[in-house]
Structure 1
Amino acid sequence: MANNDTIKKTITVTLALCIVCSVVVSTAAVLLRPMQQMNQELDFKSNIIAAAGLSGEEGSVEEIFESRIKTRVVDLESGQFTDEVDPDSYDQWKAAKDPSRSMDLSGDEDIAGISRRERYAEVFLVENEQGELQTLVLPVRGYGLWSTLYGFMAIEADGNTVAGLTFYEHAETPGLGGEVDNPSWKAQWDGKKVYGDDGEVQLSVIKGSVDSSDPNAQYKVDGLSGATLTSKGVDNLVEFWLGDMGFKPFLKNLREGEA
């Protein structure tokens, strides 16, 4: 009787099993990739809808997005809409890593900790039934304690009032920095003002709680309890993306009808 317990046969069976498992896993990954990409796109659109305050509307994510939201691309240098980039195929985060489509940030400029800033950025215009601009949703990102936080900030048509904030990707500590996902904290942003009378960004996340009697309370949001560095990260990304290096020139042009 043949001996089936030899080292050679054991290795052969192990290798064959590894190859079969690799083929199965690789095949599954290829077959599931379109579904994963579709789910990622739906999640992306869901967060835009949430930031814009449209989650309660009837219809699927795709239906709400197609009927209420228009995607445009902005040249961050000029603060103008551009048709040089197709919004349907543009990947903003890939562009940020491409030296030919982005700029390197100096230490003083890079307050959000993103290293490079893309030349073009997508913006999402929410229109009412008359086709008038109701809300503008801006993509924002910045480093917190453990990770880069990716999210959306919605600004009302006046270009100066926050209509919503949401984050769709981060790896902050659950129960601490992860509270950026807490609905009650995100709700504090609604109605806050961005720019002061001098035109500079005044909106900020403070340590502790906002004093309602403070005349500048309209510019302040409570910091996250026990998450000082994450709160600072959110504060920095807000200052960056609503400042001169981000969407400030575009929002100024929008208010003046010159975007």
Structure 2
Amino acid sequence: MASNKETVGKTFTVVIILCLVCSIIVSGSAVLLKPRQQANAAEAKQLNIMETAGIDTAGKAIPELFAQRVKPLGYNLDSQEVTTFDSLVALEQATSDSAMMRVSPTGQVAGVRDLHSLVPVYQIMDEQGATDAYVLELRGAGLWGMMYAFLAVEPNGQDIRGIYFYDHSETPGLGGEIQNPRWTARFEGKPAVDANGNVAIAVKKGANEAQGEVDALSGATITSNGVNHTLQYWLSTNAYGGFLAQLSKGGAN
């Protein structure tokens, strides 16, 4: 009987030791890999921003190219002032540290529940150092969750250069078609806002392309409505509208 108890006790001891060793290995790996994971996430974001603006990134070192061609800016929704940051990390920190603002009913329709007073803007430069475009960050509710996108606008602050939904939970083959280049290409050249600063772009069924509208995705009404609500909110004066107005007048101050 005593021998059986000793065997059981040894078994538990070995199991506990193995659990501790495995926990140490897993925890250590997580700590050691975290900087690499953060670097990969930052590089993916840089790549998405540049490709949305039409920068050729093939075969190039992404962090170096980003530093050459992109200036991180912050647009303050309260003061309408634009601040330049020396790095993406500095911009993200300032954005997260900025005050929280009350979201308008339009934002709630778009699924936006919280909004910092400082929103990110990425000024895209050409190879000669002149402003080539601006990229804005958008987010809004789809059918199954939040959709996240980058929207590139021309230097005039009115016309759309490109749009890319880099993260979403929409149904493959239906709402997931928001990532289909054939659909996102329909936004290119369309007016984001009109000369008076009103949101001009719209996603709707049976859209009139000649009037700057984009046809909704077939079989994905809720997702298409979500994209429309997202654009209506972020391009309005509740969000980036004031910044776009500054661009239309000759530049952001």
**Coarse TM-score class (shorter-chain normalised):** 0.7 to 0.9
Unaligned stretches of 5+ in structure 1?
Answer: none
- The one-letter code of the counterpart of 1:227 is A
Give the aligned partner of residue 222 of structure 1: 215
Displacement after TM superposition at 1:39 (Å):
0.4
| CA shift for structure 1 position 239 | 0.7
TM (normalized to structure 1)?
0.86
Residues 161 and 191, structure 1, Cα contact 8 Å, conserved in 2: yes
One-letter amino acid of the counterpart of residue 172, structure 2: P
In the alignment, is residue 154 of structure 1 matched against residue 147 of structure 2?
Answer: no
TM-score (norm 2): 0.88
SS in 1 for 2:194: coil
For 2:231, give the aligned amino acid. V
Distance in 1 (CA, whole Å) between partners of 2:104 and 2:248 is 29
**Amino acid of the structure 2 residue aligned with 1:243:** S
Whether 2:77 is the aligned partner of 1:79: answer no
Give, in angstroms, the shift of residue 141 of structure 1.
0.8
Aligned residues: 251
Does the 8 Å contact 1:92/1:122 carry over to 2? no
Alignment identity in percent? 38
Contact kept, 8 Å, 1:79 with 1:253, in 2: the verdict is: no
Per-residue Cα deviation, 1:157-176 (whole angstroms, up to 9, x for no partner) = 11111001112222222222
Q: Residue 129 of structure 1 corresponds to which residue in structure 2? A: 127
Q: Once the two structures are superposed, what CA deviation does each residue of 1:208-247 show, in whole Å capped at 9, x if it has no partner?
A: 5x455xx41xx21121222211111111111111001111
Residues 87/54 of structure 1: CA separation in 2 closer, same or farther (3 Å cut): closer
Residue 192 of structure 2 is matched in structure 1 by 194
8 Å CA contact retained: 1:76, 1:119? yes
Contact 2:71–2:85, Cα closer than 8 Å, also in 1: no
C-alpha distance in structure 2 between counterparts of 1:46 and 1:77, whole Å: 30
More helix by share: 2
Write the deviation string for residues 134-189 of structure 1: whole angstroms up to 9, x where unpaired.
Answer: 11111111111111112210000111110011122222222222222212112111
Cα offset, 1:57, TM superposition? 5.9
Residues in 2 aligned to 1:34 and 1:12: alpha-carbon distance in whole angstroms: 35
Residue in 2 that maps onto 1:68: 69
